[in-house]
């Protein structure tokens, strides 16, 4: 297996170093890290370059666009898409290899928040269940390049929830692996909103997406429902 790790960024100088440092601990020769930036105005590029990682500026901003652009630059036969504020287990390489050996061509991890709040632990517990509403890009996603190509990559018309779309399409023909380990994701959204408020907003956005609502409309509603800080709505 040659693994290409693709990381979309937009003003992620505070997070990207921790992620890259963790990923580089594997010291595996059949591995490449690719950062695809959407026009950062901070020093994301300088941080990435200092760590010796490939850095590209996407022709257009948008997570689906950046992920596809990163895939076009990759050499690997397996792609691993990771958000800049997510930290996978150090065993990620072995975990993905094991999933592939079990004939899974696509999958993700469960997650836990970087918080000890009890209600957030309940949310994290739910990610072990094989239901679409418990998935999300923060859980990271591995997929063989063959399957990614067959699917046509991420749908570039998706301004949000591009991860749901590619999983839905892949599952029409493939089994989906939920690796029984956790990635660590940011709980910053809950620092500025109540637990109930965030989960209601997520449910409304998910329902609107399933009802095929216009993406700009979903984004507008989501922004109005929550208080947002820093880079939460980066794309």
Q: Region 103-126: what's the mean pLDDT?
A: 93
State pLDDT tens for residues 186-228.
887 787 788 888 889 989 998 999 899 999 999 999 888 887 6
Q: Residues near 158 by Cβ (< 8 Å), separated by ≥ 6?
A: 64, 165, 215
Average pLDDT, the chain: 92
Name all domains of the chain by residue range, CATH numbers in brackets. Answer: 3-186 (3.90.550.10)
* pLDDT for residue 231 is more than 80: no
State pLDDT tens for residues 56-100.
999 998 999 999 999 999 999 999 999 999 999 999 999 999 999
What is d(CA 215, CA 212) in angstroms, rounded to the nearest whole number?
Answer: 8
In percent, how much of the chain has pLDDT > 70? 97
């Amino acid at each position: 297996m040659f693994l290409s790790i693709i990381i979309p960024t937009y003003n992620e100088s505070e997070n990207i170093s921790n992620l890259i440092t963790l990923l580089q601990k594997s010291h595996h020769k059949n591995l490449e890290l690719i950062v695809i930036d959407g026009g950062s105005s901070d020093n994301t590029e300088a941080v990435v370059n200092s760590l010796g990682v490939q850095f590209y500026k996407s022709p257009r901003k948008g997570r689906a666009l950046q992920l596809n652009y990163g895939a076009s630059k990759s050499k690997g036969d397996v792609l691993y898409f990771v958000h800049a504020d997510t930290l996978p287990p150090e065993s990620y390489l072995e975990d993905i290899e094991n999933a592939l050996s079990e004939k899974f061509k696509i999958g993700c991890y469960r997650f836990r928040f970087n918080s000890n709040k009890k209600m957030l632990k309940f949310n994290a517990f739910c990610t072990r269940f094989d239901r679409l509403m418990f998935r999300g890009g923060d859980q990271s996603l591995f997929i063989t390049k063959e399957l990614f190509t067959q699917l046509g990559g991420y749908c570039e018309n998706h301004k949000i929830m591009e991860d749901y779309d590619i999983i839905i399409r892949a599952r029409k023909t493939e089994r989906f692996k939920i690796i029984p380990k956790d990635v660590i994701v940011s709980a910053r959204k809950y620092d500025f909103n109540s637990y109930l408020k965030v989960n209601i907003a997520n449910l409304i956005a998910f329902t609107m997406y399933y009802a095929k609502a216009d993406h700009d409309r979903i984004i507008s509603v989501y922004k109005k429902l929550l208080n947002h800080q820093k880079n939460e709505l980066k794309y």
